[in-house]
Every structure is written in structure tokens, then in C-alpha cells.
Structure 1
Amino acid sequence: MSRVKRGVTAHAKHKKVYKAAKGFYGRRKNTIRAAKAAVEKAGQYAFRDRKRKKRTFRALWIQRLNAAVRPFELTYSRFIDGLSKSGITVDRKVLSDLAINEPAAFEAIVVKAKAALAA
């Protein structure tokens, strides 16, 4: 049985790591040990931040909605309460977009929510 020389496999593995580490600063891009650690850590950050991104955007939509309903003498929480009481099931992302791009449509929704609160 002939012996297996592993140079090709090792080179391919290293190449994959270097490709992922492209653009990193200093030895993190061209030394296999440092690059491996950096790529693994980058993957951890990416995984964590994919989850965090959802929270961040939801918080942004809530802030925008709060600012958009204030001229109608409502707070965000009262607005959401009014929406649920009136049976309007539009998510915060769409509401935020409406508040920015379609103020008339958003105003109609706010009026309905306000009416549901009064009733």
C-alpha cells in the first residue's frame, strides 16, 4: 500500500481559511493559526449578530411608530393597544413604512385605533 502525502489536502484547507480571512488586518489574514482563530470568531459574531439584527430593527420600528403617533396625541403603547382592540393586524415593520411613505394611510389607521380606544 502506498503512503498518502497530505500536502494537497492541507493546502486546500488552508486556502479555504485564507479566503474567509481575506481583508483581515495583520497576521490574521496570512498566518494559518491566527487566521483560523479569526475566522472562527468572525463566524461567532456573524451568528450572534444575525439574531441581534432582528431586535435592532424591531426597536427602530417601534421608535419610528412612537414618533409618528405623538402628533395624534397617542403613545406607542396606547396605539398598539388600539390596533389590537380594533382588530388591525399589521406588523410594526409595515406600520413604520406606512408612517414614512404613506402618511395619509397611516393617519387612517391611527384614527381607527383611536376610535377603538374610545369605545
Structure 2
Amino acid sequence: MPRATKGCARKRSRKRLLNKTEGYWGGRGNLYRKAMETYIRAMVFSFRDRKARKRKFRELWISRISAAARERGISYSRFMQGLIRTKVDLNRKMLAEMAVNDKPAFDQLVEQVKAAM
């Protein structure tokens, strides 16, 4: 009985991997073993950095809200506490967007918070 070598299935899986690593530097895009190592590492980085991107954006939104609130004479923590007290349910992304692009609306929010404190 002849030895089975997976034939076209193995060739297809190798081709699929080499297509994914196309454009990588040197043998990392051409040689199967190097391509496999590099691809696995790239996927680990992409998984990790999807989480990091969420953290970075939250950090950015908080710094924007904080800067806008301080311009209006209130700290970030007091501002957020006041929003909770006044039952304003806006997330940090929307608050940051308002702080940058809709200053009058943000001013109204700050006045509501100051009244509640």
C-alpha cells in the first residue's frame, strides 16, 4: 500500500499560509516554516493590539473630557460624578466628541453638573 502524503490538501494549506504571509521580509514570506512562525506571531500581536487599541482610545477620550472640563472650572472626577448624580447616560466616546465638536452642549452639561454638586 502506498504512503499517503495528504496530496492536494497539504499543498492547499501551504499555499493558503504563504498567501497570508505575502509581502513579509525575506524568507518569512516564502519559506513555509519561517512563514508559519511569523504568521503565528503576527496573529498574537494582532490579538493583543486589538485589546490595546480599546485601552488607548478610552485613555484619549478621558484626557479630552478632562481638558474640556478643566477649561470650565471642574475636574474630570467631579464632572463624571456629577453626570452620574444627574442621571446623564453618555459614554466617554460621546462626551469626548461633544467636548471637541459641540462646545455649547458640553457647556450645558457642565452647568447641569455644577448645579447638581
Q: What secondary structure does 2:43 align onto? A: helix
Deviation per CA, 1:25-54: give whole Å up to 9, x if none: 111111100000100111111111111111
Instruction: Determine the structure 2 residue equivalent to 1:44.
Output: 44
1:97 paired to 2:100 = no
Deviation per CA, 1:3-28: give whole Å up to 9, x if none: 64533222111111111112211111
| Alpha-carbon distance between aligned partners in 2 of 1:26 and 1:114, rounded to the nearest angstrom | 61
> In the TM superposition, what is the alpha-carbon distance from 1:62 to its structure 2 partner?
0.1
RMSD across aligned C-alpha pairs, in angstroms? 1.5
Q: What secondary structure does 2:56 align onto? A: helix
Using the size of structure 1 for normalisation, the TM-score is 0.91
| Alpha-carbon distance between aligned partners in 1 of 2:65 and 2:59, rounded to the nearest angstrom | 10
Superposition map of 1:34-113 within 5 A: 34-113=34-113
Q: What secondary structure does 2:85 align onto? A: helix
| Alpha-carbon distance between aligned partners in 2 of 1:38 and 1:2, rounded to the nearest angstrom | 34
Using the size of structure 2 for normalisation, the TM-score is 0.92
| Alpha-carbon distance between aligned partners in 2 of 1:99 and 1:43, rounded to the nearest angstrom | 36
**Alignment-mate amino acid for residue 92 of structure 1:** R
Runs of 4+ in 1 over 3 A off after TM superposition: 1-5
Instruction: Determine the structure 1 residue equivalent to 2:10.
Output: 10
Q: What secondary structure does 2:89 align onto? A: coil
| Alpha-carbon distance between aligned partners in 2 of 1:109 and 1:79, rounded to the nearest angstrom | 9
Could you tell me which runs of 5 or more consecutive residues in structure 2 were left unpaired when the two chains were aligned: none
